[in-house]
Amino acid sequence: MRWHGIVRARSLLLLPLLLLVACAFPRRATPLSEVHASVAPPEAPPGVMRLRFLQAVIPPRKRGGLAWDEDGSAPDVSVRVYRSGDLVWQSEPVEDGLSPELNVSPPENIYLPDDVPIRIEVWDVDSVAGDPIGIWRGMGLPESALLGANARVMLDSRAVIVMRVERAQPKRGLGLALYEVRSDRLLAIRVLPRSPASRAGLEEGDAIVAIGEDSIESLGSSRAASALARAGTHRGATLTVLRGSTRQILRLDGGFVWQAL
């Protein structure tokens, strides 16, 4: 009898947890697609670019006169990019060279505005640890880092890194990276910056209750997801949202998503 009482008590304790799991709402993201090469996108937002590191020129020895590696071999060069003190991207090392051809770049656009501290570091990386080769610091990128031109950047150790700023690559889509599907609304959880959604004023926590003239409740979850994806690429498409108790209509510009690290 006592055993049945314990089992019943445990069942009652588990019931709220099971109800919580059962009530969890599915989450989705609006899709992003590549922009066809024949489409000429407008100029990227300030600070958004592609960045490529082409070559490094390394002093033959460390600052204290020691060899780079114990066996006398040249350094294995890796590049790190910091924004406001935070590591944004680090390249895989290129092995053994004082003038290595790097040709490395972040996997997507990178955001490096002119009004924040930027740091570029070059490291000798091995399996155990690493040694800094040289550092460049400044507000924004070096003045010589112009779009489409190779720039030779002197580091504090007199090492040199050759870099190139390239045109940013946009994507098509709404830019709603995560939303929660409910019966009568789509709850915005993560909005990408520099996207049609963010430019229209959509904020995290907003409840989308209609797409154009169609309510989310009348569309159903599958049709609502398709309608939301299409709305992001149509200029003038509208989203009706609830922000707290305020109802408002947001108009989309049908432009690009400038996603960046």
Residue 14 pLDDT grade (very low, low, confident, very high; cuts 50, 70, 90): low
For residue 155, the enclosing domain spans 48-166
pLDDT at 7 over 50: no
Report if pTM > 0.85. Answer: no
Report the C-alpha gap between 131 and 122 in whole angstroms. 9
Domain with residue 144: its CATH number is 2.60.40.150
pLDDT of residue 64: 79
Domain with residue 221: its CATH number is 2.30.42.10
Q: Are 252 and 195 in contact (CB under 8 A)?
A: no
pLDDT of residue 18: 43
Parallel/antiparallel/unpaired status of strands 77-83 and 110-111 = unpaired
Number of domains within the chain: 2
Report the C-alpha gap between 134 and 124 in whole angstroms. 10
Q: Pick the last residue of a domain from 117, 150, 166.
A: 166
Residues 159, 186: one domain?
no
Q: Pick the last residue of a domain from 107, 139, 166.
A: 166
Q: For 92-140, what is each residue's pLDDT tens digit?
A: 999 878 999 999 999 999 999 999 999 999 999 876 678 899 999 999 9
Residues 72, 144: one domain?
yes
pLDDT at 247 over 70: yes
Residues 190, 159: one domain?
no
Residues 55, 139: one domain?
yes
Residues 145, 220: one domain?
no
Residues 162, 177: one domain?
no
Q: 102 in a domain, yes or no?
A: yes
